[in-house]
């Protein structure tokens, strides 16, 4: 072996590293559980588990420093450790088949969580009775949607994620004849009518609804029953110069429209949309209660599923624990509102959803085989010992 | 050789894992078919600009402009100045049930309330394209108001899963009687716009939830001051008052019940009422301002004890098991008033509950403890001016 690689290999195949990593992951889970009080489950997942390092903000500075290895680092190192131990230490052979299978299952389990973290996408589809949608919306992310609405049949959409606006830079896209610059960004805010706050500072916005409104920053909320409502002031600049500054906010329900170079445009900050090549219509939402009480018994949505190519057109009943799986997405009955006339479906894309099942099956199979081999050996020995007795 | 291969594999795995941590925040561009035109939720709430209900106006009926409560309004004029008024109203839920609704109408023509056993006899079932109407025909025993004429009321209730529609023709007895066929014809002409499914009603965004989704995903209203929806087209929001009242959370105001009358002290400032309030005054002093609200709701709203405990709850006081000690009865102008007075944590509620046929009136003064306590004599004097006309 290359003498340079030797300490590296020794480190990664070391059982001591395995134990240290497992101990670190215990501490990580403990710390994250404590911090869940402050951050809520979503932010904790991102900060502690779906990160290489747990970063802590240094008060008074814009700097964050790593204070603890994150879930991806610990999990990744465990994975490398496990793979390296197999590559260097274990030997292939029938007698070890069970151990191999169990470890393969463990590796799959780790990879499954990695893929889930990277590929899973959660969204919400909110459908009024009779309404049809071909997109779901993110519950956590927002985007600035700039629509060219000139075509009578189609809208050309340029969607800028909030994270790109947050960088406060100037953004350009080939589909837009102007640049977009973030003037002011509030991750959470409230809006007030300017007439109610006579002493408010002048608005950076000079177009649309903005001049009549005052945006007030709010503390970012992590509470599970609250939602951040960002407000952004964006300045659009074309080839001939500045077009104007707009206030966009998820608090504004309606998009703001303007004309530029003979085309009609509309601007809105909205939950990030995920379009899909099929549509879902809500035929009926049912909310059954136990007789004489308000205690919910069952929620269900009868929906019509239609694919764009017309090959699929069928009715589906979605209810608790009976989701609709179609096109790589899973639609769960999640809630309702509006006097039982609006159904809320949780829409999950997780291409690796089957991996935990497969890995658990592999681990179980591996253990059965391994113990089976030992048991068979034990019986053989006993039979041999019995035969040896004169 | 084999060991080199294995080493490379491990290095590749490590690098892959490190790269995997990078996020994605790219700008995307795509084309989508145009969506259906935007319908602002606020318009759907009042039902004013998008009526899902359709009808044919009978000859001789003059359509009036609806208001925030009425979906439709007509005036029928008869000989020698006799008039009748027709209204179409919708509210979420069953508005207390058939008995409460019928008794509310009976109260309006000064008939005593009836009990559950008599209810089927007073209801006539009329089938129409829009569904089954429960029709009542009520004739006052004497002139209403005194010295006036006898009054007749044709009422129809149409129940839908999420709301109830009320059709009411009320006015001079002979004129209303002559319009019976027109009224029934009107009911037969009622249609709901196809595709709209069910008509829009005043419904707040209410969530009930069933699993552990993030609350944001369940559509829990935002932390911001503006409730979801509520923006008229082409107009920006945003103040608390512009958001539609939370109708489902409280009983519904009777639209045209026979009002009580009162005389307020001159130093109380009348305020603009809301759809829910029959009257509204500001009582101010050096300690701040107190709010007097006068409301009426169908039925007994749960009974005196429930109402007293609701007010106690608003003061964060524990509920009581009996009224003794928490409220006292006052007889004023033939009305029985239950007077409530309690304070906690610097706030005080001084209230009076007045049961009326088919409905209950509430007079409630809320504000800083000291101010409300000081205003108590004026409030009691004010209660003595309350009477039924």
Model confidence at B183, pLDDT cuts 50, 70, 90, reads very high
- A224 close to B (CB below 8 A): yes
> Is pLDDT larger for residue A234 or for residue B314?
A234
**Final residue before a domain boundary, out of A224, A253, A274:** A274
CATH number at B300 reads: 3.40.1000.10
Please tell me whether residues A91 and A47 are part of one structural domain: yes
Strands (E), A290-341: 296-307, 313-319, 324-326, 329-337
Contacts of B203 in chain A (CB under 8 A): 338-339, 341
B5-14, B140-149, B363-372: least confident range:
B5-14
Please tell me whether residues A267 and A155 are part of one structural domain: yes
**Final residue before a domain boundary, out of B157, B192, B227:** B192
Nearest-by-Cβ selection for A341 from B30, B31, B198: B198
pLDDT computed for residue B3 by the predictor? 57
pLDDT computed for residue B210 by the predictor? 32
Contacts of B27 in chain A (CB under 8 A): 158-161, 164, 171, 173
Please tell me whether residues B138 and B276 are part of one structural domain: no
Q: Please tell me the distance from the alpha carbon of residue A145 to that of residue A273, in angstroms, as a whole number.
A: 9
Q: Please tell me the distance from the alpha carbon of residue A305 to that of residue B60, in angstroms, as a whole number.
A: 49
What is the tens place of the pLDDT at every residue in A265-299? 999 999 999 999 899 999 989 888 887 777 778 88
Q: Does any domain span residue B140?
A: yes
> Is pLDDT larger for residue A101 or for residue B192?
A101
pLDDT computed for residue B215 by the predictor? 35
Please tell me whether residues A163 and A204 are part of one structural domain: yes
Closest CA to B276 of B261, B258, B298: B298
Contacts of A42 in chain B (CB under 8 A): 214
Average pLDDT, chain B: 73
Please tell me whether residues B58 and B187 are part of one structural domain: yes
Residues 268-327 in A contacting B (C-alpha not used; CB under 8 Å):
275, 296, 299, 320
Q: Please tell me the distance from the alpha carbon of residue B259 to that of residue A259, in angstroms, as a whole number.
A: 54
Please tell me whether residues B53 and B147 are part of one structural domain: yes
Please tell me whether residue A53 adopts helix, strand or coil conformation.
Answer: strand
Per-residue pLDDT averaged across B276-287, rounded?
Answer: 82
Nearest-by-Cβ selection for B206 from A160, A229, A337: A337
> Is pLDDT larger for residue B284 or for residue A270?
A270
Q: Please tell me the distance from the alpha carbon of residue B366 to that of residue B364, in angstroms, as a whole number.
A: 6
Q: B385 to chain A nearest CA, in Å?
A: 37
Please tell me whether residues A243 and A293 are part of one structural domain: no
Please tell me whether residues A99 and A23 are part of one structural domain: yes
> Is pLDDT larger for residue B3 or for residue A99?
A99
Count: domains in chain B? 2
- Strand-pairing partners, residue A217, are A189
Q: Which domain holds residue B140?
A: 44-192
Count: domains in chain A? 3
pLDDT computed for residue B13 by the predictor? 67
Q: Which residues of chain A have pLDDT under 50?
A: none
pLDDT computed for residue A234 by the predictor? 93
pLDDT computed for residue B40 by the predictor? 36
Q: Does any domain span residue B79?
A: yes
A95-99, B110-114, B193-197, B345-349: least confident range:
B193-197
Model confidence at B275, pLDDT cuts 50, 70, 90, reads low
pLDDT computed for residue A330 by the predictor? 92
Q: B249 to chain A nearest CA, in Å?
A: 11
Per-residue pLDDT averaged across B15-32, rounded?
Answer: 68
Q: Which residue of A has its CA nearest to B226?
A: A251
Contacts of B21 in chain A (CB under 8 A): 51-52, 72
Closest CA to A124 of A308, A285, A348, A301: A348
ipTM value of the model?
A: 0.74
- A87 and B218 in contact by Cβ < 8 A? no
What is the tens place of the pLDDT at every residue in B28-72? 888 888 876 534 333 333 333 334 677 888 888 887 776 656 777
Please tell me whether residues A151 and A207 are part of one structural domain: yes
Closest CA to A99 of A374, A375, A366: A366
Please tell me whether residue B227 adopts helix, strand or coil conformation.
Answer: coil
Q: Please tell me the distance from the alpha carbon of residue B227 to that of residue B41, in angstroms, as a whole number.
A: 11
Q: Please tell me the distance from the alpha carbon of residue A140 to that of residue B4, in angstroms, as a whole number.
A: 45
CATH number at B57 reads: 2.60.120.1690
- A1 close to B (CB below 8 A): yes
Contacts of A6 in chain B (CB under 8 A): none
Q: What percent of chain B has pLDDT over 70?
A: 69
- Strand-pairing partners, residue B165, are B90, B158
The count of C-alpha atoms lying within 13 angstroms of the C-alpha of B131, restricted to the half-sphere facing its C-beta, is 14
- A to B CB pairs, distance under 8 Å: 221
pLDDT computed for residue A71 by the predictor? 92
What is the tens place of the pLDDT at every residue in A149-197? 988 888 999 999 998 888 888 888 888 999 999 999 999 998 888 877 7
Beta-carbon contacts of B59 under 8 Å, excluding residues fewer than 6 positions away, are B182
Q: Which helix (H) or strand (E) holds B155?
A: strand B149-159
Residue B205 has pLDDT above 60, yes or no: no
Please tell me whether residues A146 and A114 are part of one structural domain: no
């Amino acid at each position: 072996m290359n003498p340079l690689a030797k300490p590296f290999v020794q480190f990664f195949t070391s059982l001591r590293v395995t134990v240290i990593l497992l101990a670190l992951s215990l501490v990580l889970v403990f710390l994250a559980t404590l911090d869940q009080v402050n951050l809520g489950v979503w932010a904790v997942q991102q900060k502690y588990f779906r990160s290489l390092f747990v970063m802590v903000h240094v008060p008074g500075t814009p700097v964050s420093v790593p204070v603890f290895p994150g879930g991806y680092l610990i999990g990744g190192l465990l994975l490398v450790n496990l793979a390296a131990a197999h590559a260097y230490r274990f030997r292939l052979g029938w007698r070890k088949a069970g151990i191999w299978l169990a470890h393969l299952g463990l590796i799959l389990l780790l990879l499954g969580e990695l893929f889930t973290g990277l590929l899973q996408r959660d969204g919400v589809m909110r459908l009024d009775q009779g309404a049809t949608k071909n997109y779901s919306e993110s519950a956590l992310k927002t985007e600035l949607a700039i629509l060219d609405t000139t075509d009578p049949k189609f809208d050309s959409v340029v969607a800028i994620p909030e994270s790109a606006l947050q960088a406060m830079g100037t953004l350009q896209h080939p589909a837009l004849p102007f640049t977009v610059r973030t003037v002011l960004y509030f991750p959470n805010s409230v809006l007030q009518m300017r007439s109610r706050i006579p002493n408010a500072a002048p608005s950076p916005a000079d177009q649309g609804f903005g001049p009549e409104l005052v945006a007030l920053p709010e503390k970012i909320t992590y509470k599970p029953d609250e939602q951040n409502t960002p407000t952004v002031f964006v300045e659009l600049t074309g080839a001939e110069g500045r077009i104007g500054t707009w206030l966009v906010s998820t608090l504004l329900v309606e998009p703001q429209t303007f004309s530029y170079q003979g085309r009609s445009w509309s601007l809105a900050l909205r939950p990030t949309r995920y379009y899909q090549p099929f549509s879902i219509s809500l035929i009926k939402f049912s909310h059954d209660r136990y007789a004489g009480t308000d205690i919910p018994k069952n929620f269900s949505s009868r929906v019509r599923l239609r694919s764009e190519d017309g090959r699929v057109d069928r009715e589906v009943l979605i209810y608790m624990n009976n989701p609709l799986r179609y096109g790589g997405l899973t639609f769960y009955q999640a809630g309702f509102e509006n006097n039982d006339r609006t159904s809320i479906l949780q829409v999950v894309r997780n291409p690796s959803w089957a991996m935990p099942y497969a890995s658990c099956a592999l681990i179980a199979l591996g253990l059965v085989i391994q113990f089976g081999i030992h048991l068979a050996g034990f019986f053989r020995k006993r039979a041999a010992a019995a035969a040896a007795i004169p | 050789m084999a060991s080199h291969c294995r080493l490379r594999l491990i290095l590749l795995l490590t690098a892959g894992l490190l790269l995997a941590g990078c996020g994605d925040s790219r700008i995307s561009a795509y084309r989508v078919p145009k969506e259906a035109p935007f319908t602002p939720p606020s318009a759907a709430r009042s039902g004013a600009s998008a009526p899902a209900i359709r009808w044919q106006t009978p000859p001789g009926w003059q359509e009036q402009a609806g208001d925030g409560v009425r979906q439709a309004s007509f005036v029928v004029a008869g000989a020698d100045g006799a008039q009748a008024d027709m209204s179409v109203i919708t509210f979420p839920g069953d508005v207390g049930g058939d008995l409460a609704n019928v008794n509310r109408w009976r109260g309006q023509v000064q008939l005593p309330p009836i009990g559950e056993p008599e209810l089927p006899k007073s209801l006539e079932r009329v089938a129409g394209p829009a569904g089954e109407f429960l029709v009542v025909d009520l004739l006052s025993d004497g002139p209403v108001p005194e010295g006036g004429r006898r009054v007749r009321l044709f009422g129809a209730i149409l129940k839908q899963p999420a709301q109830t529609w009320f059709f009411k023709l009320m006015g001079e007895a002979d004129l209303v009687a002559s319009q019976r066929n027109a009224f029934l014809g009107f009911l037969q002409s009622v249609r709901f716009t196809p595709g709209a499914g069910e008509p829009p009603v005043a419904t707040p965004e209410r969530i009930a939830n069933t699993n552990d989704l993030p609350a944001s995903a369940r559509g829990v209203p935002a932390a911001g001051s503006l409730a979801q929806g509520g923006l008229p087209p082409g107009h920006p929001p945003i103040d608390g008052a512009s958001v539609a009242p939370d109708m489902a959370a409280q009983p519904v105001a009777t639209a045209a019940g026979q009002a009580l009358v009162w005389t307020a002290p001159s130093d109380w400032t009348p305020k603009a009422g809301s759809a829910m309030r029959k009257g509204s005054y500001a009582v101010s002093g050096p300690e701040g301002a107190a709010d007097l609200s006068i409301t009426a709701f169908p039925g007994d709203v749960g009974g005196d004890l429930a109402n007293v405990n609701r007010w106690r709850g608003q003061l964060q006081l524990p509920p009581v098991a009996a009224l003794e000690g928490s409220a006292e009865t006052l007889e004023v102008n033939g009305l029985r008033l239950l007077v409530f007075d309690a304070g906690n944590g610097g706030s005080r509620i001084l209230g009076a509950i007045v049961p009326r046929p088919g409905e209950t009136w509430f007079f409630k003064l809320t504000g800083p403890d000291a101010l409300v306590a000081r205003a108590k004599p004026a409030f009691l004097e004010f209660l003595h001016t309350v009477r039924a006309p």
